Structure 1
């Protein structure tokens, strides 16, 4: 019998580390989309994809290359691809990274990614700095998952002038240190705040997130 979604979520938000998370998401991969989209009204990937597409259309560059950090089954990559097409924005490619091979297999079936690889976002990724024009991250900055230190890694991976769009579950926004970390990065001049807004996360449960849009500063002339 399938685990009730509320029971699964309670367990997912209490994961103790990367190994437990990998096992949990490998187990959940096949039914993840149905459980989250249909049962929860999970809308963060759609909102983030639309937000990033608009930001890239506004800020450039041409044919931007994007990293989907914690890509899961590829919901955000698919939404970004669709939003870009609606706006007439040509993407240079989307790379996805996720802890769970099972989730990556689901993402691969979407056919929207240039590459997919395993990676642990609780640690620095084995990627050079300034590798991407933009980064999107949804459903990952939440309880039992990836902490606020990930923002500094996202900034490292994105080229100066690039854009980061990330959702943070509202339950951990304050107490989990995400707001404080962003305030620190803004104050230090390591990121520019374009917007931080409370937006829907799980529509059917009345759960919200903070949708954060950051710009990596360009070097001063």
Structure 2
């Protein structure tokens, strides 16, 4: 959920449902890179045990989407988990047969937990609100779960994903439903599609954290040749 900083496009969105978990409440209210990093560093060792209580569905649904689309190619595909957090998505993909998964995240504490999963080939610190350091056409698949949310990374990163994924490659991302339109994510996806840069394979509303009453968009795109 981390690898994030405040996106000014999202500051005017309505309040989300009240969060019982104090870390989640703080995550939606962060206003600086340093406070976001500090929050996730502090939360890292409790993160995986906290989220089941919220019925956090996004990692499983994203991993399922990737596995169903690329099928037998999963073991030979290079995957970037952008905003990997504690490695929930990477561990699920590794369990489905993925062999080469790199992860990036803002929080060193989160990366330390992700490292213990054994799912990742490489893990690096990264602020996804800035241009990514990865070379053009570096990965077959980019997955981003829990990071395109309130007070975190803005829609500009979607264009970076298109640059970094290979031609014909797959991008799977969740976007918190409350900011899908107001945060500019829908407009950016439409711009990429209308500009012939991506095909939108699906854009479904999913239960994100069910007990908090939050939904999200699960966006699946393929980079055009």
TM-score (norm 1): 0.89
Check whether the contact 2:149–2:175 (CA below 8 A) recurs between aligned residues: yes
Q: Which protein, 1 or 2, shows the higher relative CO under an 8 Å CA cutoff with sep ≥ 6?
A: 2
Residue correspondence of structure 1 range 76-91 to structure 2 within 5 A = 76-82=89-95, 84-85=96-97, 91=98
What is the alpha-carbon distance in structure 1 between the residues aligned to residue 93 and residue 191 of structure 2? 28
* Structure 2 equivalent of residue 52 of structure 1: 66
The SS at the match of 1:144 is coil
Q: Deviations over 1:146-179 (max 9, x none)?
A: 0001100111110000000000011111111111
Residue correspondence of structure 1 range 129-148 to structure 2 within 5 A = 129-148=136-155
What is the alpha-carbon distance in structure 2 between the residues aligned to residue 128 and residue 92 of structure 1? 20
Deviation of 1:31 after TM superposition, in Å, equals: 0.3
Check whether the contact 2:136–2:165 (CA below 8 A) recurs between aligned residues: yes
| Residue 171 (structure 1) aligned to one of 155, 166, 178 | 178
Gaps of 5+ in 1: 86-90
Equivalenced residues, count: 207
Deviation of 1:187 after TM superposition, in Å, equals: 0.5
Deviation of 1:5 after TM superposition, in Å, equals: 4.0
What is the alpha-carbon distance in structure 2 between the residues aligned to residue 63 and residue 190 of structure 1? 24
Name the Cα RMSD after superposition.
Answer: 1.5
What is the alpha-carbon distance in structure 1 between the residues aligned to residue 147 and residue 89 of structure 2? 11
| Residue 42 (structure 1) aligned to one of 52, 56, 59 | 56
* Structure 2 equivalent of residue 16 of structure 1: 31
What is the alpha-carbon distance in structure 1 between the residues aligned to residue 176 and residue 158 of structure 2? 14
Deviation of 1:204 after TM superposition, in Å, equals: 1.9
Deviation of 1:125 after TM superposition, in Å, equals: 1.6
What is the alpha-carbon distance in structure 2 between the residues aligned to residue 62 and residue 162 of structure 1? 15
TM-score (norm 2): 0.88
What is the alpha-carbon distance in structure 2 between the residues aligned to residue 52 and residue 16 of structure 1? 32
Deviation of 1:36 after TM superposition, in Å, equals: 1.2
The SS at the match of 1:20 is helix
